[in-house]
Amino acid sequence: MKKISIFAISMVSALMFSSCVDLNLNPLSEGSSDNWYSSQSEIEMSLNDFYRTDFFPIDNTDWGDDVVYRSTTQFPQNGTLTADNSTIATQWQNYYKGIARALRILNNMDKARDLGISEANIKRYEGEAYFYLGFAYGMLVFRWGDVILDKTGMTLEEAYSASRSPKSEVLSYAYECLDKAAANLPSSYSGVQRATSGAAKAFKARIAIYNGDYATAAAAAKACMDEGVFSLHPNYEDLFTAATSPEWIFAFKGDLGLKRYYWFANDIQNYLIRLAGGWGARNPGLELVCAYTCTDGLPIDESPLYNPKAPFDHRDPRMAMTIVPFVTPYSECVVNGTYDPADYAFFGYEHSPSPLRTTVTRISDGAQVSNTDSKARAEHAAYNGFVFKKFSDPSTWISANGFKAPNAYPYLRYGDVLLMYAEAMNETGQLTQDVLDQTINKLRERAYDGTGIDYPKATVGSQAANRTLIRTERFVEMAAEGWRYEDLIRWKIAEVVFNRPVYYLDRTWSGSASWDGDPSTTTAAYQKHIDNWNNGNYPIGGVPEIDENGIADLGYMLTAGYVVQATTRQFNPARDYLWPIPAADRLINENLTQNPGY
């Protein structure tokens, strides 16, 4: 007996389904497709249910190199991509379920007219359906290449025999749908967040740039910018804890009362320091730490300002807004020329990963407490010494129930549109100083605002130099927002990054007795650790070389004994740039071909 595939279930749910919202997640929706869409409220319920992460999937935070999770790697970067992977199958399934619903909505608009629904509302309904079709098909071709294209709603028999359409044909249809969405949707709504004309243009830019169509990406990004609806949030750090923002083009808003938690906010214990009750398990990748330029705009391997013994000194302000800063005996950038633990506190505690700092200051009363965020006190303290600050909100994270947080997740924000526009203009040979001033320099100006330091103005160079500038800027501006994996894939540099190991501090610090400064009380190995840290060789020793993509090669640190290899990563460029077609679908449809290598 043949099993019905995920694809078949998704594509023919217009004819065979027990829930009008396709995913069987809405207990209020119990009816057949024949009697649904019989009122305006039913149509709007189906549209409302689009706005969740089943249909707009969010990648794991640690799929890229900006976030690392202890000594664990994920399937996109460890060579274990298979056609049986459940995450891949679920994304494929949900994209097509959403497509089936969108087509069903479009096919029921004559019924909506018979119900007396206004043409203005019908236009919006169609716009939202086209918005999803464009997004879903654009992501399908990015992930899988050639995919099945359905424009009208397939029958059961058609679904069993459907074959893959060329990527170019599917992408062209995605653009067509997003153009229709932009034409049909309003520019904004009052008090709610839904798909808008600007969002359709911004998603078209994202889909185009993901698929290497830079001319289309440039035009779509510029069209979004020219609407004048969205703008940068006034403060970079505040953007990620805000309740609302003019920068959000498409966002998922968390809510403690409704128990809606998105992405990292469903697991904040892994981002909190141990002194605040967290685990410090998901950390900034060392590649990210090295990517922030110095305040002169130069990378750390070129700037005379960079001091590896004080890694936060003279760096792009976004570094200290993204990663919890700490001082070392060599630091110069202390507030007002003096050191105050409160200026380097995180959730009420002075933060220091130094194994020599066996105690740190509790800010509330100035007491010295055991430094469990150091390897000398806790084996599982942040493995590479760094902890994320971005998205953290002491006013809600500590009080959150079960370490859940109400943060909003910006699925697409205006800062991303500016970066896409700069990149697309460069790749089409049209980057000018005016474009840089509208994009990269706007982002830098915001980052430096209030610091008392003039931001380093980006200037036009060769296309290759511009590419390095833009990719580095994107790395740090979008850090830990879940888009780094897509960037590595679309730039075809995953084969470089994911064939290098992940490095951490040597764990032999763990459990060691507090050192009293007497060399006679230490072993030679322990003394080497002490000397390394005192000489500024932790957490990043020396000055790594930064490549043309803004990525540091950290291999020398292992040879020098500064770090240990935590885990390996593996990426096959002949296979892993595309995901496999789910095996279950191919079992019942012999016309579904597989991508190479699977």
DSSP calls for 218-234 = HHHHHHHHHH------S
> Quick one: which H or E segment has residue 484?
helix 484-490
- How is 524-541 classified by DSSP, letter by letter? HHHHHHHHHHHTT-SSS-
420 with 209: CB under 8 angstroms? yes
pLDDT of residue 33: 55
Reported as half-sphere exposure (CB side, CA atoms, 13 A), residue 106 has a value of 22
pLDDT for residue 284 is more than 90: yes
Strands 359-361 and 368-370: antiparallel
433 with 459: CB under 8 angstroms? yes
pLDDT for residue 15 is more than 60: no
**Residue 332, helix vs strand vs coil:** coil
pLDDT digits (tens, 9 = 90+) for 96-125: 999 999 999 999 999 999 999 999 999 999
Residue recorded with tokens 């009697």: 35
CATH number for the segment(s) 1-176+580-598: 1.25.40.890
CA dist 385 to 91, 326, 381, Å?
34, 10, 8
**First CA to last CA across the chain, in angstroms?**
25
pLDDT digits (tens, 9 = 90+) for 338-355: 899 998 999 999 999 988
pLDDT of residue 166: 98
pLDDT for residue 20 is more than 60: no
Mean pLDDT of 456-460: 98
Q: What are the residues whose beta carbons fall under 8 Å from the beta carbon of 238, sequence distance 6 or more? A: none
CA dist 593 to 141, 259, 588, 596, Å?
14, 41, 12, 9
Amino acid residing at 303: S
422 with 435: CB under 8 angstroms? yes
CA distance 37 to 22: 13
**Residue 16, helix vs strand vs coil:** coil
- How is 409-462 classified by DSSP, letter by letter? EEEEEHHHHHHHHHHHHHHTT---HHHHHHTHHHHHHHHHTTTTS---------
For 25-64, b/e burial (b = at least 16 CB within 10 A) is: eeeebeeebeebbeebebbebbbebbbeebbbeebbbbbb
pLDDT digits (tens, 9 = 90+) for 25-81: 332 333 345 567 889 999 999 999 989 999 999 998 899 999 999 888 999 999 999
Question: Bridge partners of 546?
Answer: 552
Amino acid residing at 6: I
Amino acid residing at 507: R
In this structure, of 6-10, 400-404, 407-411, 580-584, the range with the lowest mean pLDDT score is 6-10
In this structure, of 470-474, 532-536, 590-594, the range with the lowest mean pLDDT score is 532-536
Long-range contacts at 113-117 (CB < 8 A, ≥ 24 apart): 115/38, 115/39, 115/40, 117/40, 117/43
Where does the pLDDT of residue 192 fall: very low under 50, low under 70, confident under 90, or very high at 90 and above? low
Using N-to-C axis directions, what is the helix angle for 167-184 and 197-210, rounded to 10°? 160
In this structure, the number of other CB atoms found within 10 A of the CB of residue 543 comes to: 17
Show the tokens assigned to 33: 């497709």
pLDDT of residue 63: 95
CA distance 357 to 364: 19
pLDDT digits (tens, 9 = 90+) for 484-530: 999 999 999 999 999 999 998 876 665 544 444 455 666 776 677 77
pLDDT digits (tens, 9 = 90+) for 384-413: 999 999 999 998 888 777 888 999 999 999
- Residue closest to 358 by CA, chosen among 330, 384, 377: 377
CA distance 27 to 33: 16
Q: What share of the chain is helix, strand, coil (3-state, %, to 5)?
A: 40, 10, 50
Strands 409-413 and 248-252: antiparallel
Q: Is the peptide bond before 234 cis (omega within 30 degrees of 0)?
A: no
Residues of the chain with CATH 1.25.40.890: 1-176+580-598
CA dist 264 to 287, 312, 321, Å?
20, 25, 17
Amino acid residing at 48: N
In this structure, of 192-201, 255-264, 540-549, the range with the lowest mean pLDDT score is 255-264
Mean pLDDT of 1-13: 36
pLDDT of residue 190: 78
Average pLDDT over all residues of the chain = 89
Show the tokens assigned to 587: 């079992």
CA distance 98 to 22: 8
In this structure, the number of other CB atoms found within 10 A of the CB of residue 548 comes to: 12
- Residue closest to 151 by CA, chosen among 166, 132, 173: 173
Q: What are the residues whose beta carbons fall under 8 Å from the beta carbon of 29, sequence distance 6 or more? A: 19, 20, 21, 36, 45
Where does the pLDDT of residue 6 fall: very low under 50, low under 70, confident under 90, or very high at 90 and above? very low
pLDDT for residue 183 is more than 80: yes
Question: Bridge partners of 350?
Answer: 345
In this structure, of 1-15, 129-143, 211-225, 433-447, the range with the lowest mean pLDDT score is 1-15
Show the tokens assigned to 242: 């805000």
Q: What are the residues whose beta carbons fall under 8 Å from the beta carbon of 242, sequence distance 6 or more? A: 233, 408
Amino acid residing at 433: Q
* pTM score of the predicted model: 0.92
> Cα dihedral angle (362, 363, 366, 372), rounded to 10 degrees?
10
CA distance 316 to 476: 9
pLDDT digits (tens, 9 = 90+) for 365-379: 999 999 999 887 888
